[in-house]
Chain A
C-alpha cells in the first residue's frame, strides 16, 4: 500500500513540485495550501507523513503543527518541516526552534531547507517512513 503524504505549502509551485516528485516515486499525495486546510486534510486523509511549510501567512503552519502535536491522535504523525533557514522574518527556523523548545513541543522528525534538493527530500521521506 503506497504511503500517503500530505503536502502543505502556500506556494503552489512547491506543491506541484513535491507532489510530482512523490507521485513519481510511488507515494500517494494529498495537498493543502495552508494550515487550516492542512488540519482538515490530516484528519480526513490520515496521511503517513506530513510535509509542512513553516513560512505561511497567518502562521497557520505553526499553528497546525502545534495542534497536531497536541492532538492525541495526531501527535504521532511524523512531520517534515520545509523551511528556509536564516530567513529574515521573525518566524524563521531559529524562532521556531525556540518556540517549540519553550513550549515543550516535540520537534519535527525532519527538516528540509529550501531550495529543495530532490534527493535529500526523498531520502528524508524514506527515513521518516522507515523505509
Chain B
C-alpha cells in the first residue's frame, strides 16, 4: 500500500503524467462537452423531428378524421382513432372537446371522461381564463409518462372551419375558434432508444477516441517527454549529487533533443568547471597551507578566524587571538594599522613591518591585505598575506653596511683612488685623488678620457681589455710615474693599476695613486739636511782637518825657524815642504768641502772622454813617477766617436782625479809589491754609456773599508785624508746620472768603475747619495746606485 502510495507520489510529480493528466482532463472535458452537445443537438433535432412528425401526424389524424367528423360518423372516427392508436408509436390518442371531455380515444375506457383545464397538458393554452387560441408548438407539447413509457404528448387544436360549422350536424358554433384538441401521445420509446443508442455510440466512440488520443498522447508524452525529462531529471540529480558521468541520451531532433544536447554540453561544462573548481579549491587550500608566507584571515574585530600552518608555526597564534597580539605582541591595535584601509574602503593595502617571532627574533615582513566581501559588497574580513623579507632586510643592511664601509674606505684612503665602470667612465674618484689631480669630483665622474688620470701604458692596457683583446699584464704595481694635474703641475706619484674582471668580461679598472710629492720633498729635504749635516759634520771634520793642517803649518814654520837658526839646509827643505804641502792641503780640503756641500749644476758639454782622461793622468804622472808608479792608459779609440757623449767636464775631472789620487795612495800604502801600476781605461757600450775604470795593484781594501768607503769622513789615509774624496766623486757621478762601483781584494788591488750616460738632460729626481752609498756595503762589485727614475727611457 505504501509502495503504491509512493509510486503514486512519484508519478504525480512526473511532468509527463501531469501533462497527460491535464491533457487527458481537458480532452475528457472537451469530449464530454462535445459528446453532450452532440447528443443534445442530435436529441433536439430528433426531438424536433418527432415533434414535426407528431405535428404532421396530428394534422394527418385531424385530416383523416375530418371527413368522418364532418359526417359525424363517430364509428369511423373511432375506428380511425383506434387504428391509429394501434400504431406502436402512438401510445395514446384522444380528442377532447372544448370542454375537456374526451370524445374519442384509442382507449375506449377513457371516452367520456373530463380533464381539468388546469391539468398540465392544458396548461399551455389555458393558463389564463381566456384560452389562447394559437399557441406555439412547443407549448403544446409535453412529455409525460403513460404507464412506463415516455410519451410525447401533443395537443393540436382542432380549429373551427367553415366546413365544420357549416356541416349538417350543426354541432359547432361558428364563433368557436377551437372545436377541440387532438391529444396525441407518441411513444418516445424509439426515440429514446434511438437517442440512447446514439448516445451510447457517441459516448463509445468518444471514449474510444478519447482513449486512443489519450493513449497516443500518453505514449508520445512518455516517449517524447516523460522519458527524456526523467532522464534529464535523473541526470540532473546525479550532477547535483556530483556524479558527472551520466550522459543524457535523447534521440530526438526537436526541442527536447536540443535541450538534451544543451544539457549534455552544460553537464560537460559543469563537470569541467566543477573539476576546475575542485582543483582550484585544492590548489588554493594547498597554497594557503603550504606557501612560505603567513596567511591569515581576520574579522572586523581583528580576531584571527583562519591561519595557515606557516603562520601557526612561526607565531604560534591561535584562532580568536588578535592579529596585533600575535604578530607584534601588542595589547592594542597598532597605530599605523593599515588593515583599516582595507576594512573601511575595501582596498588592497601593502606595508613593511617589523614584528616579533616566537623565538624572540626580529621578523621583517611585507604584509598585504585584501578585503573579503560578501555578495552585497560589504567587507566582512580581511586577508593578510605576509611575506618574510627578513633575509632581504638582513641583506639590505649588510649591503648598506658594506657599501658604507667601502665608500668610507675609499673616501678616507690616503691614496688617490680612481676607478672606471664597465663603460670606461670614471665612477670612483676620492678626496685624495682630488688633492692630487686637482679636478673636482663632479667634473671627473663620468669622464671617459682616461689619459688624464692614468699613465699611458695602463690606459692602453685598459682599452685593450675593454675591447676584449688578450692582455699579458693586467696590472701595474708600484710604478713611479708623473701625472699632470689640472693646473699643469707635474706631480710624482707611485701608481698601481689593476683591471677588474668578471667572468667573461672587463668590468672596470682601478688605479691607486700615492702622492710622492711629500716623499720627494722629504727626499730633497733629507738630501738638503744631509748636506747640512754634512756641512755640520764638515765643520767638525773641518776642524779636525784644519787642526792637522795647522799642526803641519806650525810645525813647518818651527822647523824652518830651527833650520834657519841651525843653518841646516836639509831641515830647511823639509820644513818648507811641510808648509808647502799643508797649504796645498788647505786648498784641497776647501775644494773638497765646497765640492761636496755646494749643489753644483753640472754643465754638459760634448766631450772627448779620452782627452779628459789623458788630462787627469798627465796631472798625476809626475807624482806617480816620484813614487815609482806607472800610469797606464787603456783608452778605447771609439769612445765618444760612435755615440756622442756630453759630460760635465769639471765634475768628471774631479772624479777621475780623486780616483787616481786614491789609486796612487793605495799603491803608496802597499808595501807588498815592488812594481805598482795604475791602469786607466775608457770604453763606451752599445747604449752609448761611457765607462771609466781606474785599476791599481795597491793595498786593496778590507771588509770594513769596503763597507764604509762611501760614508763621509771615512778615510783610510788616517789624518791625511779628508774622507770626502769618494763622497764627492760619487755625488758628482750620481748628479751626472751615472753609477760608480768598485771591486777590491785586500793586498791585491782595487778597481773603480764609473758608468756615465751619454748625456740627456738632467734627471729631475736627485736621490740620496748617502743612502745609495750605504747600500754599497757588504760585498764586492756592489754599485752605489740610484734607483732609476721611472717612466723615462733607459740609459743611466
Contacts and interface: CB of A to CB of B under 8 A. Distances in A.
Interface of A: 10-11, 13-14, 16-18, 20-21, 24, 53, 55-57, 84, 86-89, 114-116, 118
A17 B554 CA distance: 8
B548 A57 contact: no
Interface in B574-594: 574-575, 578, 581-582
Contact of B713 (A17, A53, A84, A88): A88
A6 B534 CA distance: 36
Given A87-B544, A114-B547, A116-B554, A10 B713 contact: no
Interface in B684-718: 713-718
Interface string B557-573: 01100100000000100
B555 A114 contact: no
Contacts of A17: 551-552, 554-556, 558-559, 578
A20 B720 contact: no
A114 B559 CA distance: 17
25 contacts: A10-B720, A11-B719, A13-B551, A13-B556, A17-B551, A17-B552, A17-B555, A17-B556, A17-B578, A20-B562, A55-B719, A57-B718, A84-B544, A84-B548, A84-B719, A86-B543, A87-B540, A88-B537, A88-B544, A89-B544, A89-B714, A114-B550, A114-B551, A118-B554, A118-B558
A65 to B, nearest CB: 16
A84 B723 CA distance: 16
B602 interface: no
Contacts of B718: 10-11, 55-57
Given A13-B578, A87-B544, A88-B541, A24 B562 contact: yes
B575 A16 contact: yes
B31 to A, nearest CB: 159
A57 B716 contact: yes
A116 B543 CA distance: 13
Contacts of A87: 540-541, 543-544
A88 B578 CA distance: 25
Interface in B513-554: 537, 540-541, 543-544, 547-548, 550-552, 554
Chain B contact residues: helix, strand, loop or mixed: helix
A47 B540 CA distance: 34
Contacts of B547: 84, 114-115
A115 B550 CA distance: 6
Contact of B581 (A10, A13, A18, A86): A13
B573 to A, nearest CB: 11
B524 to A, nearest CB: 24
Given A13-B556, A13-B578, A16-B559, A116 B551 contact: yes
Given A13-B556, A88-B541, A57 B717 contact: yes
Contacts of B558: 17, 20-21, 118
Contacts of B720: 10-11
Contacts of A57: 669, 715-718
Contacts of A56: 718-719
Interface residues of B, number: 32
A24 B568 CA distance: 12
Contacts of A24: 562
A88 B718 CA distance: 13
Contact of B554 (A10, A55, A86, A115): A115
Interface in B307-329: none
Given A13-B582, A86-B540, A87-B544, 10 more contacts: A11-B552, A17-B559, A20-B558, A21-B558, A21-B562, A24-B562, A55-B718, A84-B719, A114-B550, A118-B558
Given A87-B544, A88-B537, A13 B717 contact: no
A13 B550 CA distance: 10
A89 B550 CA distance: 19
Contact of A16 (B540, B544, B555, B715): B555
Interface string B476-515: 0000000000000000000000000000000000000000
B551 A115 contact: yes
Interface of B: 537, 540-541, 543-544, 547-548, 550-552, 554-556, 558-559, 562, 571, 574-575, 578, 581-582, 669, 713-720, 723
A20 B575 CA distance: 10
A87 B715 CA distance: 13
A20 B582 contact: no
A55 B541 CA distance: 13
B713 A89 contact: yes
Nearest to B538: A88
Contacts of B717: 57
A9 B575 CA distance: 17
A24 B720 CA distance: 26
A20 B719 contact: no
A20 B550 contact: no
A116 B559 CA distance: 14
Contacts of A20: 555, 558-559, 562, 571, 575
B542 to A, nearest CB: 10
Interface centre among A13, A84, A87, A114 (most CB of B within 10 A): A13
A121 B562 CA distance: 17
B715 to A, nearest CB: 8
A89 B581 CA distance: 23
A88 B712 CA distance: 10
Contact of A116 (B555, B574, B575): B555
A88 B540 contact: yes
A83 to B, nearest CB: 10
Contacts of A18: 555
A89 B548 CA distance: 14
A113 to B, nearest CB: 8
Contacts of B713: 88-89
Given A55-B719, A88-B713, A114-B547, A14 B537 contact: no
A115 B551 CA distance: 5
B597 to A, nearest CB: 15
B583 to A, nearest CB: 12
B552 to A, nearest CB: 4
A24 B564 CA distance: 13
Contact of B548 (A11, A86, A88): A11
Nearest to A13: B552
B794 to A, nearest CB: 39
Contacts of B552: 11, 13-14, 17
Contacts of A11: 548, 551-552, 718-720
B574 A16 contact: yes
* 10 closest A-B pairs by CB: A17-B555, A13-B552, A115-B550, A10-B718, A114-B547, A57-B718, A115-B551, A87-B544, A88-B540, A13-B578
B668 to A, nearest CB: 12
A18 B719 CA distance: 16
Nearest to A14: B551
Contacts of B556: 13, 16-17
Nearest to B565: A24
B541 A114 contact: no
B564 to A, nearest CB: 12
Given A16-B555, A84-B544, A115-B551, A53 B719 contact: yes
